[in-house]
């Protein structure tokens, strides 16, 4: 039966494990196939056309497994390719941006939100459109923070250099009165300790992946695709280049080593 199939999740690399982590918490009985396109990382500095091509290869690979639904964990791929992926996929496709914007709009009290993301996500204005669709009067400023991805990859989650980089970026915001920050990149939730070091507890930090996980659960339920019975689901990890089974992102999220199968797209 279709509900018994795994859910496919893809990202440009291992940052999407932050989204997978939220999905497995919300959906503990589901099986997942995770694909990290580490060979082509980063997507965030590439053109929309190139990211669309890469995203299409990722979804084609996941659909061949097969899977019952696909989650685009990557904000950049969601920003530039979600509509195209939906048009070509026979199964439902969910992206992080709509959920992140809805959670941001819900969280803000003063109607001022800052979205942090990659250069390509910012350029696409996908978050601005998503906030606009919600229809609530929210003033949104976007900011690209490209240096944060390598800092997260290095495991500098709570580090003076990361805090300094955050400070340097955020002092460039034109309006500093926002009360909510949307972490619009897979890697940024790993840096919450450094963000907290900068903001204290004044500002609400919204993790798009967390918001998406509960929405995916609702949607699968409506479509009768939820696995209602059974024990803890399995996760298969696939990557397009070799990665360490115990790198900082894996250790921080899973607390144990993970075996990645190398695949060619």
Please, which of residues 217-256 interact with ligand DGL by CB under 6 A? Answer: none
C-alpha to C-alpha distance for 216 and 233, rounded to whole angstroms = 16
In angstroms, what CA-CA distances link 139 with 167, 174, 178? 21, 12, 9
Query: Applying CB under 6 A, which part among 57-65, 69-77, 156-164, 170-178 lies near ligand DGL?
Result: 69-77
Q: Which of 107, 122, 131 is nearest to 205 (CA)?
A: 107
Place of tokens 């996500």: 121
C-alpha to C-alpha distance for 7 and 91, rounded to whole angstroms = 10
Q: Interface with ligand DGL includes 75 (CB under 6 A)? A: yes
Contact 238, 35 (CB under 8 A): yes
The residue from 10, 11, 162, 181 that contacts ligand DGL (CB under 6 A) is 11
What's the closest the beta carbon of residue 127 comes to ligand DGL, in angstroms? 11
Please, which of residues 42-61 interact with ligand DGL by CB under 6 A? Answer: 42-44
What's the closest the beta carbon of residue 223 comes to ligand DGL, in angstroms? 26
Query: Applying CB under 6 A, which part among 38-46, 58-66, 100-108, 232-240 lies near ligand DGL?
Result: 38-46
What is the biggest distance separating any 2 CA atoms in the chain, rounded to whole angstroms? 53
In the numeric block, which tokens belong to residue 177?
A: 């009165």
From the list 14, 74, 115, 165, the catalytic residue is 74
Q: Interface with ligand DGL includes 74 (CB under 6 A)? A: yes
The residue from 121, 162, 180, 194 that contacts ligand DGL (CB under 6 A) is 121
Q: Interface with ligand DGL includes 185 (CB under 6 A)? A: yes
Residue 185 among the catalytic residues: yes
Q: Interface with ligand DGL includes 98 (CB under 6 A)? A: no
Provide the β-strand partners of residue 114.
Answer: 141, 181
Within 200-233, residue ranges assigned H as helices are 208-222
State which residue, 121 or 180, has the beta carbon closest to ligand DGL: 121
State which residue, 43 or 195, has the beta carbon closest to ligand DGL: 43
Q: Interface with ligand DGL includes 18 (CB under 6 A)? A: no
Q: Interface with ligand DGL includes 178 (CB under 6 A)? A: no
What ranges make up the beta strands (E) of the chain?
7-11, 32-36, 69-72, 93-95, 112-117, 139-144, 180-184, 204-207, 235-239, 260-262
Query: Which residues of this chain interact with ligand DGL, rule CB under 6 A?
Result: 11-13, 15, 41-44, 74-76, 118, 121, 149, 185-187
Q: Which residues are catalytic?
A: 74, 185
């Amino acid at each position: 039966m279709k509900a018994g199939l795994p859910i496919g999740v893809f990202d440009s690399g291992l940052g999407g494990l932050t989204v997978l982590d939220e999905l497995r918490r919300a959906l503990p009985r589901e099986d997942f196939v995770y694909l990290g396109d580490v060979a082509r990382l980063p997507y965030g500095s590439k053109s929309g056309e190139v990211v669309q091509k890469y995203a299409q290869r990722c979804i084609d690979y996941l659909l061949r497994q097969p899977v019952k639904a696909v989650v685009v964990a990557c904000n950049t791929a969601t920003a530039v390719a979600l509509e195209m992926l939906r048009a070509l996929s026979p199964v439902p496709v969910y992206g992080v941006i709509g959920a992140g914007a809805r959670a941001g709009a819900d969280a803000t009290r003063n109607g001022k939100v800052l979205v942090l993301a990659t250069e390509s996500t910012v350029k696409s204005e996908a978050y601005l459109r998503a906030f606009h669709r919600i229809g609530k009067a929210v003033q949104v400023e976007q900011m690209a923070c490209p240096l944060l991805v390598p800092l997260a990859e290095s495991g500098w989650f709570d580090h003076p250099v990361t805090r300094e980089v955050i400070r340097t970026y955020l002092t460039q915001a034109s309006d500093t009165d926002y009360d909510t920050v949307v972490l619009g990149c897979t890697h940024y939730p790993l840096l919450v300790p450094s963000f907290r070091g900068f903001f204290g507890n004044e500002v609400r930090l919204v993790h798009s992946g967390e918001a998406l996980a509960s929405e995916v659960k609702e949607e699968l339920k409506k479509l009768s695709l939820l696995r209602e019975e059974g024990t803890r689901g399995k996760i298969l990890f696939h990557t397009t280049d070799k990665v360490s089974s115990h790198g900082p992102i894996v250790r921080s999220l899973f607390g144990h080593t993970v075996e990645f199968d190398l695949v060619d797209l």
